[in-house]
Amino acid sequence: MKIQALNDNRFNESKSKYFFIIWLVSFFAMITNSIKILFRKFFVKQYRGKNFKRIWWEMGRDEKHYSSLFIDRFSKTNHYIKVKAASSMALDVVYDWEDRIRKGNTGNNLASKFTNFWFNNIDNQKALNNRRILVTSLLNKTIKEFKNESEIRLISIAAGSARAVISVIKENKDCNIKVILIDKDEEALSNAKINAVKEGIADKFEFICDTAGSIVEVSKNFRPHIVEMVGLMDYFNTEKSIEVCGKIYNSLVEGGYFLTGNVKKNREKIFLDWGLLWPMIYKDEKVFEEIILGAGFSSENVSIFYEPFKIHGVSFSKK
């Protein structure tokens, strides 16, 4: 198994001098949000009987809830990301920040100032863009390996708006590629369809609103050469991850490739947890390896790449 850290990326700047401010604001958000969670649990009827994590999650998705004056009270962009956390809609804002959204945040008002501060100084924002670029590069590499096939079949699980997949299909228009996008979020699939239509490649896609487990049924008649599932495993524990990745291994054609991702604990975890109330299950390299090998892949056929911040890893595994 090869593990590599990449260092040649445009999102490779970390302004550590702002970390104390980020941590301090997140720490106070942790205190105030913990109090709000406890209040809901003991004094609000609809939350009684629910565990701490469930209330934490539901409170974060509540449009009327604000984590902090400095994070999302003034900034509508930050508030939108908090409310839409763990969705492709939140990720799309992160992806569009550099090329589109930043241009609309040039004012001298508090909303623009707070939005710019968090987006310009959070490592996780840059790391997510690094991950997208890395996935796009690996998908391109994989498609070229099957360029002599009469048809290349690709399945993307928890596809979201399918930015990376659509970009790669557009770049490889000359190849006969058939794609199935699976996501349990209808809004995400709708956005993916809009993006595919916009690029003139909608005829190459099929959209299925379902969970990751549906790959067992889908792959019976659509044996994929490539399966991409980057992002979803951040919400699975180790046991669940091995189970799902095992199903993907069995669905692939012999010689097929599986791309999946992993998020590691990092110094901004407190901000994700308490500033955005965006819970994830963080796994180190050892656990990530355990999952991929536990799914059935051989060590010699697995490479793991970490983007420059070493927050997000992407495994590239051959059956």
CA 80 – CA 89 distance, rounded (Å)? 9
Closest by CA position to 290, among listed 307, 302, 306: 302
Answer whether residue 266 shows pLDDT above 80: yes
**174 with 204: CB under 8 angstroms?**
no
Please say whether the beta carbons of 130 and 305 come within 8 A.
Answer: no
- H/E/C letters for each residue in 76-129? HHHHHHHHCCCCHHHHHHHHHCCCCHHHHCCCCCHHHHHHHHHHHHCHHHHHHH
Domain ranges of the chain: 15-122, 126-318
Characterize the bridge pairing of strands 312-318 and 302-306: antiparallel
DSSP 239: H
User: What pLDDT does 98 receive?
Assistant: 82
Residues 272-294 have a mean pLDDT of 97
pLDDT of residue 102: 76
Q: Is pLDDT at 10 greater than 60 in this prediction?
A: no
Q: Has residue 91 got a pLDDT over 60?
A: yes
CATH says 126-318 is which class?
alpha beta
At 219-257, the pLDDT tens digits run 999 999 999 999 999 999 999 999 999 999 999 999 999
pLDDT digits (tens, 9 = 90+) for 118-138: 998 999 999 999 999 999 999
Confidence band of 262 (pLDDT split at 50, 70, 90): very high
User: How, if at all, do strands 152-157 and 226-229 pair?
Assistant: parallel
What pTM was estimated for this model as a whole?
Answer: 0.94
Half-sphere exposure of 25 toward its Cβ, with a 13 Å CA cutoff?
20
Q: Which residues contact 172 (CB under 8 A, 6 or more apart)?
A: 140, 143
Confidence of residue 105 (pLDDT cuts 50, 70, 90): confident
- Kindly state the percentage of the chain with pLDDT values over 70: 95
